[in-house]
Structure 1
Amino acid sequence: MGVLYLDQADTELRYRQGAIELRRDGTLLRTLPGALITRVVLRADTRLSSHTLAALADDGIGVVVLGGRNGQRVAHVLGKPHNDARIRIAQLLNHQDPARAGHWCSVLVGAKVRRQWRLLSHAIQHRPDLHLPLTQACQTLQSIVNSVQACREPGTLRGLEGAAAAAYFRAYAQLFAASLHFGGRQRRPPPDPVNATLSLGYTLLYSAAVQACWVAGLDPMVGFLHQPTHGRASMASDLMEPWRPTVDAWVWDQFRQRYLRPDHFGRDGAGACLMGKAARAHFYAAFTPVQKMCSRAMQRHARQLARALLRDAPQWPDAAPTDEP
């Protein structure tokens, strides 16, 4: 199963008899079996009919529309919903139970921080010149992991996650060349090439998490680690948290290997950093295996969580890696 990215203007998308057709000026460019596609991402102006949207949704193929020059506006067209409303009812009841919500928060934060630790530990091998700051960050993350394991209070766990993010990004930022001007995580708008690339990766991960929730019967808007708030799919945000460091590692590798370079990026009138078309073409092709792996894992965790909620027992899916730091 894969993701189809459309980033050329004036492309027409049709869906007939289980096959996706791509056309331009009436000429057939490509045909793809719908059975191989889980999601279509539209980055450029694309023509498709309401019949095509309905047919894609009916076959479980989601459509993600990225709008704005930075792709910061996102719209989702999801497939058929899950038919068991009991899952959402159980999800809401567990959201209101601090003990069970706290356990889920602990699993999520622990998994994320362990992966952050693993990325920085791996980076020491490639950047021995940064041995001291990377080692210090790893020690901080190890201490936070220990605290997370002993905590089940959601508010405290959110604070630990924030402390881990601060220590992690201070060290992570030092892995990049000074010419990239990356000083830490910033968004809306991203001020530098690394932040622009992270934002696009996180956006695609988020869209996959929304679809994973939908297919599993979870309410994407009601999370445990992320409190419900206007305009945010909090459960989708929960599901993607352990996989952010996977995106981070991929982004670092792209700049370290110079597959992405400063000259691949430009700026708009407001000073936001924009990824050029050549960079986007590379991004979509190279990111596909990472997104595929993360999407499958999030779908699996969403199904496990849905089953646990229906059992009404504290048997929560473990999103954490099996190896400990």
Structure 2
Amino acid sequence: MSTLFVDRRDIHLEHDAGALVVRDRGERLATVPLAPISRVVLRGSVTLAASVLGHLGERGIGVVVLSGRKGDATLFFGRPHNDARLRVEQCRRSLDDKFCLAYARSLVHDKLEQQCQWFNALRPRYPQARYPLTQAIEQLRQQQVRLPQARNLDSLRGQEGAAASGYFAGLRAVVPASLQFNERNRRPPRDPFNALLSLTYTLAHAETALALHGAGLDPCVGFYHQLQHSRESLACDLMEPLRPLADRLCLELVATQTLTADHFGHSAAGCLLGKAGRTRYYMAYEQHAPALRQAIREGVRSLARQVAPELPEPGTYEPPWLPTPHDSVAPDTAT
């Protein structure tokens, strides 16, 4: 299963016999069958009828709209699983402080473990950065062993913050100096690598929220990230151990010079990836996405088993769009 990216001015989408028709000022540019599509990402002045959204929803295809210069995401969910028992159990568990803390600890532990393993793998590849990478690993391990001491979510967030300081210091040592990456910053990102991280996190977060909704969970009711207006808190939860996978993609793109500083621009909205860079990015994202989607799928299933172990196997809730390990990715899905 693949993603259709539509990032072009004055595009109109129509549905015709199980396919999306892409038109530019009335001229038919392409016809994309919906069968292999699992999600659609729209950016720019794209128009479509409500009936098109209806056809996508019927097929369980989620729609992500990136609006404004910063690419803020709005989600249109496909049809969810109809068994509400899982959502009821989720809400009940969200009020259980003991469950929330235990689940949050496991998320942070898994994230720190993946960060350590990745930095270990980077040391032979970046011998000049071996010392800062080793220091970062030591800081991550120090916080990891202290996780059981956290007695509440605030304490756990403090430990996670201390680990993040060491992690980004290590990451800074391997990011090309031309990208001027000194620390993690956002809203808006002030340098190219932070802009790349923000875009990747936005897409990964959207995929996670769509997967949770399709599986019968409420993306807004979290355990580590508590209720907050206009936030998919549960998607934020599951994103924690996924972030190292997103970071790997970002580093790979700049290390191979698939993206360089020239692909980014600066404005009052911060540092943003330009149109030519986004075209390259979308293709690279799809090529690297299978590992990310596998991790999302495993995270959703694991959570469903913890939330409601007495309900049927979580695979029962798998929506039709959720990719399987055997799915292939279309070689070019950017328009």
Q: Secondary structure at the match of 2:35?
A: helix
Kept in 2, the 8 Å contact 1:110–1:149? The answer is: no
Paired residues of 1:39 and 1:63 also in contact (CA < 8 A): yes
TM alignment of 1:243-254, pairs within 5 A: 243-254=242-253
- Kindly report which structure 2 residues correspond to 1:147-158, keeping only aligned pairs within 5 A, or say none: 147-148=146-147, 153-158=152-157
Structure 2: distance between partners of 1:297 and 1:28: 37
Corresponding residue number in structure 2 for 1:320: none
**Residue 294 of structure 2: which of 277, 293, 296 is its match?**
296
Q: Check if 1:16 corresponds to 2:16.
A: yes
Distance 1:200 1:214, change over 3 A: same
Do structure 1's residue 278 and structure 2's residue 294 form an aligned pair?
no
Q: Pairwise mapping of residues 233-244 of structure 1 onto structure 2 (< 5 A)? A: 233-244=232-243
Unaligned runs of at least 5 residues, structure 2: 315-335
Contact 1:105–1:152 under 8 Å retained in 2 = no
Per-residue deviation, residues 39-82 of structure 1 (Å, max 9, x unmatched): 100012112101101111111011110011121x2211110022
- Structure-1 separation of matches of 2:35 and 2:294: 16
How many residues align? The count is 313
Corresponding residue for residue 260 of structure 2: 261
* CA distance, structure 2, for counterparts of residue 259 and residue 213 of structure 1: 32
Would the aligned equivalents of 2:208 and 2:239 in 1 still touch at CA under 8 Å? yes
Which residue number in structure 1 is paired with residue 167 of structure 2?
A: 168
Deviations 1:135-176 (A, max 9, x none): 111011122222235657433322222211111011111212
User: What one-letter code is carried by the residue in structure 2 that aligns with 1:289?
Assistant: Q
The equivalent of 1:323 in structure 2 is none
Question: Residues of 1 paired with 2:151 and 2:31: CA distance?
Answer: 50
Amino-acid identity (%): 40
Counterpart contact for 1:99–1:152, Cα < 8 Å? no
More RCO (CA 8 Å, sep 6+)? 2
In structure 1, the partner of 2:191 is 192
The residue number in structure 1 matching 2:228 is 229
| 1:118 counterpart residue number | 117
- One-letter code aligned to 2:80: P
**Which secondary structure does the structure 2 equivalent of 1:35 belong to?**
coil
Secondary structure at 1:311 match in 2 = coil
Residue 221 of structure 2 aligns to a residue whose secondary structure is coil
Q: Which moved more, 1:216-225 or 1:303-312?
A: 303-312
> What SS is found at the alignment partner of 2:218?
coil
Per the normalisation by structure 2, the TM-score is: 0.88
Let me know the Cα RMSD of the aligned residues: 2.0
Q: Structure 1: how far apart are the matches of 2:130 and 2:294?
A: 34
**2:218 alignment counterpart:** 219
